[in-house]
Amino acid sequence: MNTVYTDLAARFGTPLYVYDRQALDAAIDNYFNAFSGSRALICYAVKANGNLSILKHFAARGCGFDIVSGGELARVLAAGGDPAKTVFSGVGKSADEIRFALQNKIKCFNVESLPELERINALAAETGCRAPVSLRINPDVDAQTHPYISTGLKDNKFGIAMADAEAAYRRAAELPHVDVLGMDCHIGSQLIDLSPMVEACERLLALLDRLAAQGIVLQHLDLGGGIGIVYDPKQDAEPDIAAYAAAVRRLLDGRGLELILEPGRSLVGNAGVLLTRVEYVKRGENKDFVITDAAMNDLLRPALYDAYHHISNVSAEREAFVADIVGPVCETGDFLAQNRLIGAQAGDLLAVHGAGAYAASMASNYNSRPRAAEVLLCGGEAKLIRRRETLDNILADEKACLSGISACHH
């Protein structure tokens, strides 16, 4: 693979995101095999990586989609995804986003609050339809993950509290323009130990039984996503998706419920690398630095979550030393790794592994840096699936405003 990466960097430049279609297929096959025999719909979480070519590939494999914005729905539609297999999550759905989703007849809204429920009902009345809804319940289960990506505790902004759930469902059942179809949860991301997810399922099923006793019978259970990947081969264990699937199947046995899952990172994370060129090696009085052309605007996770990504030297094996691997962005928080044992010199090509999820999708133009190109490896062929941004691209919309600003001074 090192030769492939070297060739790609020479052809497309760096920084460069590279994805492997074979790895994407292996990841989705893992889910299909684990949940075979279940009425399971795999809805890929678009926020992990929304590149149209990746969405198109998952749609062709039979996946639905989990979206959190109108923009992500537009991406699903542009990629040929099926809106009838698309669920809409997120705490702040705007009126325009809800109308857009209703017009395209999505499978379900995952409703996160009573005000949102009332808004959806009112907008469905305006458009003369009934909105399919599922209530996202916060089961107050500790996912034992980074606090920024924990979403199932009482203090998190997501979902409806378990204590309020029955009243919320009763209100939903009263509304004339919603169809109450399911129950949803998502307790957090990057879970390696999947037992909290099983615990959340148990709590939701107990609630589902209480609702059935009140005449509110649901059709599906959405257990969200959150299954993690191995970022550090020396420390991380592989999550056991097969064991999780077996536990869920036992809990759902005989209930006749459709199961919805929303994996994101576990489908794309380890299918991608970020290639970056070493610009300088800077020897400091107290610390050494390997300065690369990739930065926090290309991969935010280390700065945002103090996340670990394995980094290897594609060019050569060199004598290792301890250094921070940093980018050119004018922030002390701009690092890809800290206190890492690395062998590198100026001009070397490095591969930052596990960059298929939450890298390109969280990229920005901070410091007026153009966003990197994206390439998909399909067997022996490399396809450019997103062109490298240019400075002209970045400035284009602002240039259109300059005459208006000038006019204000006369």
CA distances from 271 to 55, 252, 358 (A): 14, 31, 12
Give pLDDT tens digits for 207-266: 999 999 999 999 999 999 999 999 988 877 889 999 999 999 999 999 999 999 999 999
In angstroms, rounded to a whole number, what is the distance separating the alpha carbons of residues 137 and 110? 9
Domain membership of residue 117 (yes or no) is yes
Question: First-to-last CA distance in the chain?
Answer: 60
Which single residue is written with the structure tokens 């050569």? 316
Q: Is 389 annotated as a binding residue?
A: no
Q: Is 404 annotated as a binding residue?
A: no
Verify that 232 and 275 share a domain, yes or no.
no
Q: Which domain holds residue 366?
A: 270-394
Domain membership of residue 218 (yes or no) is yes
- Nearest CA-CA partner of 167 in 207, 108, 224: 207
Verify that 253 and 342 share a domain, yes or no.
no
pLDDT band at 146 (very low <50, low <70, confident <90, very high): very low
pLDDT value at position 380? 85
Q: Is 358 annotated as a binding residue?
A: yes
Q: Is 244 annotated as a binding residue?
A: no
Give pLDDT tens digits for 164-178: 999 999 999 999 999
Give pLDDT tens digits for 14-54: 999 999 999 999 999 999 999 998 899 999 999 999 999 99
Verify that 251 and 287 share a domain, yes or no.
no
Q: Is 11 annotated as a binding residue?
A: no
- Nearest CA-CA partner of 87 in 152, 159, 135: 135
Q: Is 80 annotated as a binding residue?
A: no
Structure tokens at 388: 């490298």
118-121 LR contacts (CB < 8 Å, sep 24+): 118/175, 119/93, 119/95, 120/93, 120/178, 121/175, 121/176, 121/177, 121/178
Whether 388 shows a pLDDT value over 70: the answer reads yes
pLDDT value at position 148? 42
Whether 325 shows a pLDDT value over 60: the answer reads yes
pLDDT value at position 152? 42
- Which residues, in sequence order, are CB contacts of 346 under 8 Å at separation 6+? 278, 279, 280, 281
Q: Is 318 annotated as a binding residue?
A: no
pTM of the full structure: 0.93
Q: Is 226 annotated as a binding residue?
A: yes
- CATH code of residue 179: 3.20.20.10
Whether 406 shows a pLDDT value over 70: the answer reads no
- CATH code of residue 294: 2.40.37.10
Q: Which of 63, 108, 330, 378 is catalytic?
A: 330
Higher pLDDT, 148 or 345: 345
Verify that 304 and 350 share a domain, yes or no.
yes
Give pLDDT tens digits for 268-289: 999 999 999 999 999 999 999 9
Give pLDDT tens digits for 189-204: 899 999 999 999 999 9
Number of domains in the chain: 2
In angstroms, rounded to a whole number, what is the distance separating the alpha carbons of residues 255 and 260? 14
In angstroms, rounded to a whole number, what is the distance separating the alpha carbons of residues 254 and 306? 43
Verify that 231 and 153 share a domain, yes or no.
yes
Our answer to whether residue 330 is catalytic in this structure is: yes
Verify that 297 and 242 share a domain, yes or no.
no
In angstroms, rounded to a whole number, what is the distance separating the alpha carbons of residues 181 and 111? 11
Verify that 212 and 286 share a domain, yes or no.
no
Give pLDDT tens digits for 73-132: 999 999 999 999 999 999 999 999 999 999 999 999 999 999 999 999 999 999 999 999
Verify that 249 and 355 share a domain, yes or no.
no
In angstroms, rounded to a whole number, what is the distance separating the alpha carbons of residues 248 and 40? 11
In angstroms, rounded to a whole number, what is the distance separating the alpha carbons of residues 359 and 47? 10
Q: Is 262 annotated as a binding residue?
A: yes
Give pLDDT tens digits for 302-322: 999 999 999 999 999 999 999
